[in-house]
């Protein structure tokens, strides 16, 4: 079995239907069947306690319909449902419940694996989002640790940009413009959010919209009204506002 596996739960009131799904899943290396249920009430209880990644859910069952079970689990964001039924009249309802797929009995092996792969894709996408959440703008209050990289989400991937390569950051609407030497990335968030995650020994805020790496500052030039232009080694010119003037006193002597 592969190092990572998808936890799969099967719900059907027909033992033969459960067995047929088991047989197909046993051929898949990265899936593990963690349990089964034959009615909606038991299914609800087991799914809440076992948190499977993927659930194959029959619709017509005792106690609770499959759709009713899923309705009660709508906030269970880490579980994805595939409805398996002999009836096609619940398809619209199923997709209103954000089901991954609607598998109509009898189905072919190919159709089953197609559905399973769709569910796996949803799981992977969900995992990516969790990675972004855990690497983005999180603060450990009891033991402050500053970030060493910034996670940039793009289509189908996450790119981790080392802070050692970042020269300065600019606010750009609801995004942060992350500038390296020659490249520019956009990340959703605010300057204030990311400022709290940056090592103040390395980065300094010079404007309500700008944070710069101290080691990249070449010189300061008088601007007007007590403001300065911060000249970087790359040639970039960034405004230092009066309200952030004290931040640079530890680096250079300012009037």
Residue 54 to residues 57, 60, 110, 122, 167: CA-CA distances in angstroms?
9, 19, 18, 10, 43
* Of 76-90, 132-146, 210-224, 230-244, minimum mean pLDDT range: 132-146
Query: Is the confidence at residue 166, as pLDDT, over 80?
Result: yes
Are 197 and 134 within 8 A, CB to CB?
no
Summarised one tens digit per residue, pLDDT across range 133-149 is 555 544 444 455 778 88
- pLDDT over 90 (residue 54): yes
Residue 71: which pLDDT band, with cuts at 50, 70 and 90? confident
- What residues contact 146, with CB distance under 8 A and at least 6 apart? 197, 198, 199, 202
How sure is the predictor about 155, in pLDDT bands with cuts at 50, 70 and 90?
Answer: low
Distance CA(89)–CA(17), nearest Å, equals: 19
- Provide the residue count of the chain: 255
Rounded to the nearest integer, the mean pLDDT of the chain is: 83
Tens-digit pLDDT profile for residues 226-237: 678 889 999 999
Give pLDDT tens digits for 235-245: 999 988 877 87
User: From CA 132, how far away is CA 40, in angstroms rounded?
Assistant: 34
Listed range (51-60, 179-188, 199-208, 223-232) with the worst mean pLDDT: 223-232
**Residues 6 or more apart in contact with residue 104 via CB below 8 angstroms:** 85, 86, 88
Token pair 């959440």: residue: 133
DSSP classification of residue 107: -
Q: What sign results for the dihedral spanned by CA atoms 200, 191, 248, 251?
A: positive
For the entire predicted model, the pTM comes to 0.52
In the chain the domains, ranked by start, together with CATH numbers, are 6-135 (3.40.50.2300), 149-248 (2.40.50.1020)
Measured distance CA(50)–CA(48) in Å, rounded: 6
- pLDDT of 98 > 90? The answer is no
Q: Which range has highest mean pLDDT (85-99, 142-156, 173-187)?
A: 173-187
């Amino acid at each position: 079995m592969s190092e990572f596996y998808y936890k799969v739960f099967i719900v059907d009131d027909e033992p033969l239907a459960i067995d047929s799904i088991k047989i197909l899943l046993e051929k898949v290396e990265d899936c593990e069947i963690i349990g089964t249920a034959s009615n909606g009430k038991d299914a609800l209880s087991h799914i809440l306690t076992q948190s499977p990644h993927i659930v194959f859910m029959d619709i017509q069952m005792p106690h609770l319909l499959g759709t009713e079970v899923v309705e009660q689990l709508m906030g269970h964001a880490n579980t994805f449902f595939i409805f398996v039924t002999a009836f096609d009249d619940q398809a619209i309802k199923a997709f209103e419940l954000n089901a991954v797929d609607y598998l109509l009995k009898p189905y072919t092996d190919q159709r089953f694996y197609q559905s399973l792969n769709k569910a796996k894709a949803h799981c992977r996408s969900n995992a990516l989002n969790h990675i972004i959440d855990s690497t983005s703008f999180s603060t450990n209050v009891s033991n402050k640790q500053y970030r060493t990289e910034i996670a940039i989400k793009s289509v189908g991937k996450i790119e981790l940009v080392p802070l050692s390569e970042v020269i300065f950051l600019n606010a750009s609407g609801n995004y942060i413009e992350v500038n390296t030497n020659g490249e520019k990335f956009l990340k959703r968030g605010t300057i204030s959010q990311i400022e709290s995650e940056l090592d103040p020994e390395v980065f300094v805020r010079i404007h309500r919209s700008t944070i710069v790496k101290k080691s990249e500052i070449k010189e300061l030039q008088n601007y007007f009204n007590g403001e300065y232009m911060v000249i970087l080694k790359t040639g970039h010119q960034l405004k230092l506002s009066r309200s952030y003037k004290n931040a640079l006193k530890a680096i250079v002597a300012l009037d």
